[in-house]
């Protein structure tokens, strides 16, 4: 197998400072416990009635005490958000999507974000490996599920992200270039 085609012509999905390509790996390739450390994004609070963005209750209440005539959306006496258009008071549980819009992780030298439906993109890491380029879906990134000895230099996840404590590819230190 060869390293494939860089559909980005070296322009995107690559760290401009180091020249290392971003890595893409399926969530299913790492241990499931690792996903617990990700921060999930549920978007901005929106009104369940009209869909408009909500305002924080405390901010509005402090500005204008005239919201007593607003209708309560929930069965609780929670006062989290206000829809100024519908004159509705909405609790947090009703203000956000049930499903996350995305996820991210930052720590231990990593910067990770969601990519496509079930993939993780590594945009900063203390480690790299060599991979095949991703398909046109993520141009310029390296596919961490396909190690290639003479492939493209790609940011990678360390051994501690995998079930058996061993990455499915050789790891190299970004600072020294030495194999770990």
Tell me how many domains the chain contains: 2
Domain of residue 112 covers 23-40+104-173
What span, in angstroms and rounded, lies between the C-alpha atoms of 174 and 171? 9
Q: What is the DSSP letter of 32?
A: G
Element (H or E) spanning 172, and its range? Answer: strand 172-173
Q: In the prediction, which pLDDT does 133 show?
A: 96
Same domain, 113 and 162: yes
Q: Is the dihedral of CA 6, 10, 12, 15 positive or negative?
A: positive
pLDDT score, position 10: 85
Determine the pLDDT at residue 76.
Answer: 47
Residue 85 sits in the same domain as residue 167: no
**What's the pLDDT at 68?**
60
How far apart, in Å, are the Cα atoms of 92 and each of 42, 74, 145, 159?
11, 10, 39, 38
Sign (positive/negative) of CA torsion 115, 121, 98, 90?
Answer: negative
**Which regions in the chain score pLDDT beneath 70?**
59-79
142 in the same domain as 83? no
128 in a structural domain? yes
Half-sphere exposure of 21 (CA within 13 A, CB side): 28
Would 10 be classed as within a structural domain? no
* SS3 track for 41-93: ECCCCECCCCCCECEEHHHHHHHCCHHHHCEECCCCCCCCEEECCCCEEECHH
């Amino acid at each position: 197998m060869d390293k494939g085609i860089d559909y980005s012509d070296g322009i995107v999905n690559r760290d401009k400072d180091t020249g290392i390509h971003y890595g893409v790996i399926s969530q299913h390739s790492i241990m499931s416990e690792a996903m617990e450390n990700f921060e999930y994004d549920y978007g901005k609070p929106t009104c369940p009635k009209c869909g408009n963005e909500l305002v924080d209750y405390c901010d509005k209440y402090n500005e204008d005490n005239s919201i007593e005539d607003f209708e309560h959306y929930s069965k609780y006496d929670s006062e989290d958000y206000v829809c100024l258009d519908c004159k509705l008071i909405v609790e947090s549980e009703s203000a956000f999507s049930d499903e996350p819009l995305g996820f991210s992780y930052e720590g231990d030298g990593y910067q990770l974000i969601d990519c496509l439906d079930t993939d993780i993109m590594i945009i900063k890491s203390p480690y790299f490996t060599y991979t095949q380029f991703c398909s046109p879906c993520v141009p310029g990134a390296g596919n961490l599920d396909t190690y290639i000895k003479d492939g493209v230099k790609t940011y990678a996840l360390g051994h501690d992200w995998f079930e058996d404590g061993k990455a499915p590819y050789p790891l190299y230190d970004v600072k020294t270039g030495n194999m770990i």
